[in-house]
Amino acid sequence: MKKLLHIIATPRGDASSTLKVSGAFLVAFRQKHQGWTVDELDLTKEEIPSMTVKRVDGKYALLNGKDLSGEMKESWNEIVSQIERFTSADVYLISVPMWNFSIPYTLKHYMDVIIQPRYLFRYTANGPEGLLKDKKMVVITSRGGDYSSAEGKKMDFQEPYLRSAFGFVGITDITFINAEQMAYGEELQKKSIIASQEKARTLATQI
């Protein structure tokens, strides 16, 4: 059975502009793909393991081509559990607001946990190689300002970072739906959300 992993990186619940858009996506997606499983990972509710000294040592051991054993391997198993949950998905939906021109710390923490050598990428004689091929990702964001202009793009460290980081591990088919101008008043906010919801519904039927 195919799976969509919905990664939620906003703590605002029903008040979230981001989730209003991703909610529209999911309704349309479930109607189109009734045989799929939707796995929800709420980063503000689920406990993501920390990168302790022992786990960081494990990462460097893997980078140096060594196998893990003993306490280091046992400690690393929690990381592997998160990695396997991520890699088992066929499609990813990330609901993420823009915080300080980038992503919330919860999503950065999660990415630091799952993006590990041997699992999501490997180093070869020709350089790094992403191991997650033929997967799709949809990123739905909400932003207080307008980052669609040439000047606005200079301050957008969210989309370029996510494209680069997930592209590094092989996920290059990434579509962004950005609900802009959330802080520009109720009228513009509502208009932007409605337009983004329509884009989300259309995209959900095309996957």
pLDDT, position 7: 99
* pTM of the predicted model as reported, rounded to 2 decimal places: 0.94
Among residues 106, 174, 85, which one has the least CA distance to residue 136?
A: 174
Q: Which contiguous run of DSSP H or E holds residue 8?
A: strand 3-8
Report which of 96, 91, 75, 87 is spatially closest to residue 8, judged by C-alpha positions. 96
Domain-wise residue ranges, the chain: 3-206
At 62 the pLDDT is: 82
Going residue by residue through the chain, which has 207 residues, state the pLDDT in tens, using 9 for 90 and above: 999 999 999 999 988 999 999 999 999 999 999 999 999 999 999 999 998 888 888 888 888 888 888 878 888 889 999 999 999 999 999 999 999 999 999 999 999 999 998 999 999 999 999 999 999 999 999 999 999 999 989 999 999 999 999 999 999 999 999 999 999 999 999 999 999 999 999 999 999
Among the CATH numbers 3.30.70.260, 3.40.50.360, 2.40.37.10, 1.10.10.10, which is that of 3-206? 3.40.50.360
Q: What is the layout of strands, in order, in the sheet containing 136-142?
A: 37-42, 3-8, 91-97, 136-142, 173-179
Cα 65–chain centre separation: 28
